[in-house]
Chain A
């Protein structure tokens, strides 16, 4: 009952000073909206990366030279094509190879920049890489260094302008390749667009790039439980062959873990910066509450004179402060959710995901801000001496 009355009084007080209440809320509104937007974009980025990494295939093991540490210098690869065969023999799994580089691709008068990937027929077995048309590279293409190419849908759009690419000859880094297949679109914006890839036989790529190594191997473990076993077997083969070198086997979980940590840290730092606005907003609330207590000193004196206890008055003003900040929080959440959806709709590269916890957390934080910054003015109000309060003008 007293709570209901305190609620009524608080609502009335905020209504009586509509503009002032709104301006006071602004800091909280902006802070909450900014936090919600940043968390949404951070979560969106994380989800996108997860979709892409998981979209590559299941139970993947990527073998690369060197140690995968932050700050470790990129290592010049010493891997050879024949190592793939050795790993295949040791693990019993097909091994996809990769040697990639950026090249200009031309057809007719058009040109596009593409990631040229020298691979082998194991790619469709290891990765999820469906073809829209034509077929993938064959073993004989690799053996004979045939200049054939499978191109991504993005490149087809850029180069062929609706014409049928199959059987056409494109120029890759100045060398002519015949198109034998087209990938289905897989999209993706992080770490390069996979629709802008050209796959050619690894042997052809070696000649094109003037390189006799390969960058990396990829295998697919038969089950999730055997990922570690397959990794160890692959690494054992390489340790045997290159005793002085280091190699790493990376799983999708490790990639996701690393990227997730980076994105999480980034999101946290940005959200924390945005939260400063919340703090500033809280100070504004504190300030306005002090003004409100001063303005209503006589009312406080009167309420105490007729029997209000200290905590009745304190509760009334605390409720007013919390109402102010949670209202600001709700407006901020609405703006933040609307803003992030609008942003991701407007900008392709900016996926946004509203997680259930971020609005809930924002609401909780704004209520906490109200309590934290309202408690000093509210307690001051509660402690006022009734006679002195009634005397004020």
Chain B
């Protein structure tokens, strides 16, 4: 295991400029996601959870502070380099699935590999493999509209997995699903974390789901709250050296 944690945020802020009014979505957050970690991000609506996930996934850049992906400060990367880092190390599962409507499940899943320069036949092979891992091997050529919500979320997870990421970031992966389907998706994420060593960070409003994670990250008003279950988590800067 390399010494650098998978993701590291140091005193990160993110402000938006809304027609001249400054909105501080994150106001100084420090956090480490170790390899193989399993963390749940919880907090009230509008507290900055999604903003944090976007930053951690390299989809967005912090206003101030340092964000490292695999030990590399993303401030030093160009847009295109950052895109390649996302492609190589991060799998993102969006709350609203974000599947392409006119595209089959297998092509949706294979898409990240296009931007890695993988051959078409190889892309298909690996996409089928990823779909099988999430139990969707029998729905390869279905369009998203022909799938149930749970199935669509599985396809979205398969797409996040297909590139063998070190970190899976899931923003409310069960938010649109009923309880039992949500439980299946959660079981899938847990299995990926347990059996394949993929670090998982997920946002959830479901306290039961959050409780099953190894640790909870509580966001309120753009700041992290001390973690009850893992008190060594605060301040996070010290956590960089912790085991696992």
- Within residues 313 to 364 of chain A, which ones have a CB less than 8 A from any CB in chain B? none
Complex CA–CA separation, A5 to B117 (angstroms): 10
Complex CA–CA separation, A302 to B54 (angstroms): 13
A307-B100 in contact given A1-B117, A1-B119, A386-B59 (Cβ < 8 Å): no
Q: Is A199 an interface residue (CB 8 A)?
A: no
Cβ–Cβ contact A306 & B79, under 8 A:
no
Complex CA–CA separation, A188 to B236 (angstroms): 95
Residues of A within 8 A of B116 (CB): 307
Cβ–Cβ contact B87 & A307, under 8 A:
yes
Residues of A within 8 A of B211 (CB): none
The chain A residue with its CB closest to the CB of B119 is A1
**Of B40-48, B107-115, B198-206, B219-227, which stretch is located at the interface?**
B107-115
The chain B residue with its CB closest to the CB of A385 is B60
A305-B59 in contact given A387-B54, A390-B94 (Cβ < 8 Å): yes
**B116 smallest CB distance to A (angstroms):** 7
Chain B residues bordering chain A, tally (CB within 8 A): 27
Complex CA–CA separation, A12 to B143 (angstroms): 15
Residues of A within 8 A of B57 (CB): 305
**A297 smallest CB distance to B (angstroms):** 12
Q: Is B102 an interface residue (CB 8 A)?
A: yes
Residues of A within 8 A of B83 (CB): 304, 307-310
Residues of A within 8 A of B118 (CB): 1
Cβ–Cβ contact B120 & A305, under 8 A:
no
From B94, B98, B115, B120, A307 is in contact (CB under 8 Å) with: B115
A303-B94 in contact given A4-B120, A386-B59 (Cβ < 8 Å): no
Cβ–Cβ contact B100 & A299, under 8 A:
yes
Residues of B within 8 A of A16 (CB): 102
Q: Is B159 an interface residue (CB 8 A)?
A: yes
Q: Is A311 an interface residue (CB 8 A)?
A: yes
From DSSP, what is the main secondary structure of chain A's interface residues? helix
The chain B residue with its CB closest to the CB of A12 is B102
Cβ–Cβ contact A307 & B59, under 8 A:
no
Q: Is A2 an interface residue (CB 8 A)?
A: yes
Residues of A within 8 A of B88 (CB): 307
Cβ–Cβ contact B111 & A303, under 8 A:
yes
Per-residue CB contact flags for chain A residues 85-121 toward chain B (1 = under 8 Å, else 0) read 0000000000000000000000000000000000000
Q: Is A147 an interface residue (CB 8 A)?
A: no
Complex CA–CA separation, A310 to B78 (angstroms): 11
Per-residue CB contact flags for chain A residues 1-22 toward chain B (1 = under 8 Å, else 0) read 1101100000010001000000
Residues of B within 8 A of A304 (CB): 83
Residues of A within 8 A of B120 (CB): 1, 4-5
Complex CA–CA separation, A306 to B103 (angstroms): 16
From A5, A305, A385, A386, B114 is in contact (CB under 8 Å) with: A5
Q: Is B86 an interface residue (CB 8 A)?
A: yes
In the complex, the 5 A-B pairs of residues with the closest C-beta atoms, listed nearest first: A307-B87, A307-B115, A306-B112, A309-B80, A5-B114
Give B residues with C-beta under 8 Å from A.
54, 57, 59-60, 79-80, 83-84, 86-88, 92, 94, 98, 100, 102, 111-112, 114-120, 159, 163
12 contacts between A and B (CB under 8 A): A1-B114, A299-B100, A303-B111, A305-B57, A305-B98, A306-B92, A308-B83, A309-B79, A309-B80, A310-B79, A311-B80, A390-B98
